[in-house]
Amino acid sequence: EAGVTQFPSHSVIEKGQTVTLRCDPISGHDNLYWYRRVMGKEIKFLLHFVKESKQDESGMPNNRFLAERTGGTYSTLKVQPAELEDSGVYFCASSQYGSSGYTFGSGTRLTVV
Amino acid sequence: LAKTTQPISMDSYEGQEVNITCSHNNIATNDYITWYQQFPSQGPRFIIQGYKTKVTNEVASLFIPADRKSSTLSLPRVSLSDTAVYYCLVGDHPDTGRRALTFGSGTRLQVQP
């Protein structure tokens, strides 16, 4: 079974540019989550999709972040325009009802310079 | 969501048993207890989940007392490859309410040869 795949693994962009992160969850997993860790901080929740619907987006820091999950498969997280404080590692996870735990991807390390 | 408290760091030697205790005094009735392991440059990896008493899998054991206000992750005969950060989380339920996870600071386990 393929795991959760995130692309790119690393991204370096200039302040003010746009970046789009992609997450491919485990096939068949209805629940998809985005988390991030900024330097020196704890891993923080951003949002939760159930299929294509946003179940909880209480962790999204501001309106420069836009997450989509068209068709309930893969998801994208767009940051526009990027700011220096957006630097960090963005993790995606997926889960399915009835199974234990969440499966995380390896993350995308975003550096805004 | 229930807050967790666990030691910041622990040291051990290869072949020893390691027990990491987590406090979660305000755990809710429906909350499960889940432990994750994270290596550098990787996403958290599910280790074990339980609700009460004892759970054992091929990787670890999880001990939960009757009041469920704490839990202990037990790693038998650790090796160097067990050096990682271990997170204790409460709030997930495998069958319902697969909501956001709240990560704390975790316990950094260092295994020495």
CB A90 within 8 A of CB A10: no
| pLDDT tens string B39-98 | 998 999 999 999 999 999 999 999 999 999 999 999 999 999 999 999 999 887 766 656
| Nearest CA-CA partner of A46 in A66, A22, A18 | A66
| Nearest CA-CA partner of B6 in B110, B108, B106, B111 | B106
Test A98 with B95 for CB contact under 8 angstroms.
yes
| Nearest CA-CA partner of B4 in B93, B107, B112, B83 | B107
Closest residue to A91, CB basis, from B43, B99, B102: B43
Tokens of A112: 């805004």
B3 touching A (Cβ < 8 Å): no
One-letter amino acid identity for A18? T
Q: Rg for chain A (alpha carbons), in Å? A: 13
| Nearest CA-CA partner of B17 in B111, B85, B113 | B111
| pLDDT tens string B67-80 | 999 999 999 999 99
Stretch 24-63 of chain B: residues touching chain A, C-beta under 8 Å: 34, 36, 41-46, 49
